[in-house]
């Protein structure tokens, strides 16, 4: 049995919030060890057995595979009769970004085959949440339901797939509740990575239900094939609670398996079978093995990125097609995850918003966070690029290699610190010519047996592989610059109720103080006052998170206050003296 599966291991936390024993000492590891730890954590996605623990199902458990078969058949039905039908993929944060990526990619594929585009995506906070963190709409069940209601207008058959890795987002709970009230038209599917028993039970403001009630009702309805719950346990995240990593990857694996099986059944008459689904999941496991067989090269990129961040330089991902979008997503998630500056790691995609193909179109007028085209990189970043910056190209053999070469040439005039992650599919390109353009190229060679020249599958594999590489680079670089304590990101932004609860847990974990004491310290840090008024303590969590959104470092301040029994001002001066969180915590522990 995996250590985290034991009932006594962090018993009060759902799997997605537990800390992963594999990465306990990630903050002391070197780049190669970091990549090896991430490899092991990601391998848990494909764990075959739950080691006799009835509490957990795994991705390959027969009940999970069977549910994937059932949902794929729903997709097939919709694709065969697309009139007045819709498949909606929805979620918050990373879950919404994965929904966007899949919905737009598959719509593009349908359009290129002169078929009706039947996919739609919803992300809490709208399209700006694709590129920036919009955590507060996650807490709004009514907004979720309203957005879904609008998307369904005029439709007679809707397959709704709501993603909440932690089975926790009120936005998704509101949507699922809406589905349950409209089962004649909508079939709801919930994807997440906790057993239903561990779904969130915290009351949702102005709501008669919480997430667990919805998940339980769906579980019941699954017997009549009116709703489906897909919730294998894939193990805790490498950085506790950071579901952009395993959660996002596992969501991608499950959804792509479902949707591809549905498409192949509808378009090629390929029957959807249990073994076929298992085979498809095994292929994704192979993608994991192939990607992480490049540990040394990946570790070298982690090191380069960390050096750039330490020298106050930058990391730039320049990608083509969806690999560019994966880069933009990874970069933008560093801001809320690690409290990174927006300039630290940035992503750009060839053809910018026309490649994104998002519902709200070109968002570049919204500000610098939304400047994503290679052309913008060339105009605004390139002139000031130096060896302190790390540039990583992301492309595959299917991209315009002349364009890749031309941009590489321009970048090389400013920095030699230029690298690439390149996907070789048929070996038809001229790898030597391409290799000579970069300091190093991490070439991932895909055996044709894996995708049998199926372009959709090839693309999905390259995307997931790139996601794993970039998650490793950005996470590893931030770990090496001291942003993480053990495997906890302590300096989290407390911008919604999930993060508020996580912050209190972290304070309890590191100080051993009571829940009430930790919550009081957190509120003191949020409101910046030593004595809380009665009104403040009784205000609802939403109000606290709105105020916390305006403040920096509230959790480290609360932590130091609890450890040193000092004032807010004293805690702040401590933190100012140490840039590495572990050092600040250790120093104030020495005080006691
Ligand atoms: C996680 C990421 C968050 C989550 C979001 C949704 O690394 O920063 O934005 O994706 O909170 O979480 P969930 O559990 O509903 O999928």
Cα(133) to ligand 1 centroid in Å equals: 10
Q: Give the pLDDT score at 238.
A: 98
pLDDT tens for 541-581 read 888 998 888 887 899 999 999 988 889 998 888 888 876 67
Cα(242) to ligand 1 centroid in Å equals: 7
In ligand 1, the atom with minimum distance to the C-alpha of 93 is 9
Cα(122) to ligand 1 centroid in Å equals: 14
In ligand 1, the atom with minimum distance to the C-alpha of 496 is 11
Contact, 490 vs 554, CB < 8 A?
no
Q: Give the pLDDT score at 50.
A: 67
Residue 310: is its pLDDT beyond 90?
yes
Ligand 1 mutation pick, 13, 133, 212, 247, max ligand atoms within 8 A of CB: 247
Query: Whose CA is closest to 551, among 492, 507, 489, 510?
Result: 492
Count of CB atoms situated within 10 Å of the CB of 271: 10
Residue nearest to atom 3 of ligand 1 (CA): 93
Cα(165) to ligand 1 centroid in Å equals: 7
Determine how β-strand 228-230 pairs with β-strand 119-123.
unpaired
Q: Give the pLDDT score at 450.
A: 86
Contact, 170 vs 540, CB < 8 A?
no
Q: What is the mean pLDDT of the segment spanning 308-322?
A: 97
What percent of the chain is predicted at pLDDT more than 90?
Answer: 79
Angle (CA) 307 348 241, round 5°? 65
pLDDT tens for 133-145 read 888 899 999 999 9
Ligand 1 mutation pick, 13, 89, 94, max ligand atoms within 8 A of CB: 94
Cα(591) to ligand 1 centroid in Å equals: 36
Q: Give the pLDDT score at 454.
A: 86
Cα(155) to ligand 1 centroid in Å equals: 29
Q: What is the mean pLDDT of the segment spanning 234-240?
A: 97
**Class of domain 62-231+242-272 as given by CATH:** alpha beta
Contact, 567 vs 530, CB < 8 A?
yes
pLDDT tens for 438-465 read 999 999 999 988 877 788 899 999 999 9
> pTM score, two decimals?
0.95
Ligand 1 mutation pick, 92, 135, 503, max ligand atoms within 8 A of CB: 92
| More confident: 570 or 16 | 16
Q: What is the DSSP letter of 539?
A: S
Coil, strand or helix: which one is 522? helix
Rg of the chain over CA atoms, in angstroms? Answer: 23
Q: Give the pLDDT score at 77.
A: 96
Q: What is the DSSP letter of 351?
A: T
Q: How are strands ordered across the β-sheet holding 345-349?
A: 345-349, 315-319, 390-396, 418-424, 440-445
Assembly ipTM: 0.99
Residue nearest to atom 11 of ligand 1 (CA): 93
CB-defined site of ligand 1, < 6 Å:
91-95, 138, 163-166, 168-169, 242-244, 247, 333, 336-337
Q: What is the DSSP letter of 30?
A: -
CATH architecture under which domain 490-589 falls: Orthogonal Bundle (1.10)
Contact, 332 vs 318, CB < 8 A?
no
CATH for 288-480, options being 3.90.1150.10, 3.40.50.12620, 1.10.260.40, 3.90.1200.10: 3.40.50.12620
Residue nearest to atom 13 of ligand 1 (CA): 164
Q: Give the pLDDT score at 10.
A: 93
In ligand 1, the atom with minimum distance to the C-alpha of 237 is 7
254/447 Cα distance (integer angstroms): 22
Please state, rounded to an integer, the average pLDDT across all residues of the chain: 93
554/572 Cα distance (integer angstroms): 10
Q: Give the pLDDT score at 579.
A: 67
Q: What is the mean pLDDT of the segment spanning 228-252?
A: 97
In ligand 1, the atom with minimum distance to the C-alpha of 16 is 14
Break the chain into its structural domains and give their ranges: 62-231+242-272, 288-480, 490-589
In ligand 1, the atom with minimum distance to the C-alpha of 333 is 8
Q: Give the pLDDT score at 434.
A: 81
Domains 62-231+242-272 and 490-589 equal at CATH topology level: no
Residue 592: is its pLDDT beyond 60?
no
Residue nearest to atom 15 of ligand 1 (CA): 164
Q: Where are the beta strands (DSSP E) in 283-356?
A: 315-319, 345-349
Residue 534: is its pLDDT beyond 90?
no
Cα(252) to ligand 1 centroid in Å equals: 14
Residue 584: is its pLDDT beyond 80?
no
Residue nearest to atom 4 of ligand 1 (CA): 93
Q: What is the mean pLDDT of the segment spanning 321-344?
A: 93
23 band by pLDDT with thresholds 50, 70 and 90: very high
| More confident: 134 or 60 | 60
Give me the torsion for CA of 40, 41, 47, 49, rounded to 10°: 100
161/168 Cα distance (integer angstroms): 15
Cα(431) to ligand 1 centroid in Å equals: 38
338 band by pLDDT with thresholds 50, 70 and 90: confident
Residue 55: is its pLDDT beyond 90?
no
Cα(416) to ligand 1 centroid in Å equals: 36
Cα(589) to ligand 1 centroid in Å equals: 31
Q: What is the mean pLDDT of the segment spanning 483-489?
A: 91
Query: Whose CA is closest to 328, among 292, 300, 353?
Result: 353
Count of CB atoms situated within 10 Å of the CB of 128: 17
Residue 429: is its pLDDT beyond 70?
no
In ligand 1, the atom with minimum distance to the C-alpha of 133 is 9
pLDDT tens for 241-284 read 999 999 999 999 999 999 999 999 999 999 999 999 999 999 99
């Amino acid at each position: 049995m995996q250590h985290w599966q034991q009932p006594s291991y962090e018993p009060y936390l759902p799997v997605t919030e537990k800390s992963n024993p594999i990465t306990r000492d990630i903050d002391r590891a070197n780049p190669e060890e970091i990549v090896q730890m991430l490899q092991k954590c990601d391998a848990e996605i494909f764990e075959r057995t739950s080691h006799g623990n009835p509490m957990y199902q795994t991705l390959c458990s027969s009940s999970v595979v069977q549910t994937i078969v059932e949902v794929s058949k729903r997709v097939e039905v919709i694709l065969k009769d697309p009139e007045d039908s819709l498949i909606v993929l929805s979620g918050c944060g990373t879950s919404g970004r994965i929904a966007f990526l899949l919905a737009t990619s598959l719509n593009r594929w349908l359009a290129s085959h002169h078929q009706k585009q039947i996919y739609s995506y919803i992300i809490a906070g709208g399209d700006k949440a694709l590129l920036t963190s919009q955590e507060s709409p996650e807490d709004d069940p009514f907004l979720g339901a309203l957005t879904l209601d609008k998307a369904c207008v005029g439709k007679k058959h809707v397959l709704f797939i709501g993603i909440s890795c932690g089975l926790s987002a009120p936005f998704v709970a509101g949507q699922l509740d809406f589905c349950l009230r409209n089962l004649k038209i909508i079939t709801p599917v919930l994807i997440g990575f906790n057993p239903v028993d561990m779904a969130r039970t915290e009351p949702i403001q102005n709501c008669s239900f919480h997430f667990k009630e919805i998940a339980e009702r769906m579980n019941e309805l699954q017997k009549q094939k009116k709703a489906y719950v897909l919730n294998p346990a894939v193990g805790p995240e490498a950085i506790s609670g950071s579901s952009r990593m395993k959660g996002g990857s596992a969501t991608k694996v499950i959804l792509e398996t479902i949707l591809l099986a549905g498409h192949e059944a509808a378009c090629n008459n390929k029957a959807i079978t249990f073994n076929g689904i298992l085979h498809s999941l095994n292929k994704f496991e192979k993608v994991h093995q192939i990607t992480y067989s490049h540990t040394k090269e990946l570790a070298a990129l982690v090191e380069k990125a960390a050096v750039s961040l330490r020298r106050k330089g930058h990391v730039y991902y320049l990608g083509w097609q969806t690999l560019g979008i994966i880069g933009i997503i990874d970069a933008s998630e560093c801001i809320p995850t690690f409290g990174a500056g927006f300039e630290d790691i940035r992503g750009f995609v060839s053809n910018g918003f026309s490649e994104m193909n998002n519902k709200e179109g070109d968002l570049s007028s919204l500000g610098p966070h939304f400047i994503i085209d290679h052309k913008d990189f060339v105009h605004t970043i390139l002139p000031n690029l130096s060896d302190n910056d790390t540039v990583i190209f992301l492309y595959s053999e299917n991209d315009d290699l002349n364009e890749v070469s031309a941009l590489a040439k321009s970048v090389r005039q400013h920095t030699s610190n230029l690298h690439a992650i390149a996907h070789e599919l048929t070996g038809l390109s001229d790898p030597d010519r391409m290799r000579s353009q970069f300091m190093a190229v991490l070439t991932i060679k895909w055996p044709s047996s894996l995708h049998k020249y199926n372009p959709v599958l090839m693309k999905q594999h390259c995307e997931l592989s790139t996601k794993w590489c970039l998650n490793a680079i950005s996470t590893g670089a931030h770990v090496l610059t001291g942003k993480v304590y053990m495997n906890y990101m302590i300096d989290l932004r407390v911008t919604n109720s999930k993060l508020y609860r996580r912050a209190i847990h972290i304070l309890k974990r590191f100080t051993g103080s009571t829940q009430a004491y930790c919550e009081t310290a957190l509120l003191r840090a949020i409101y910046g006052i030593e004595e809380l008024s009665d009104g403040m303590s009784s205000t609802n969590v939403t109000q606290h998170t709105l105020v916390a959104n305006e403040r920096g470092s509230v959790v480290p301040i609360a932590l130091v206050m609890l450890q040193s029994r000092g004032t807010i001002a004293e805690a702040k001066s401590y933190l100012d003296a140490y840039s590495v969180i572990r050092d600040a915590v250790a120093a104030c522990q020495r005080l006691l």
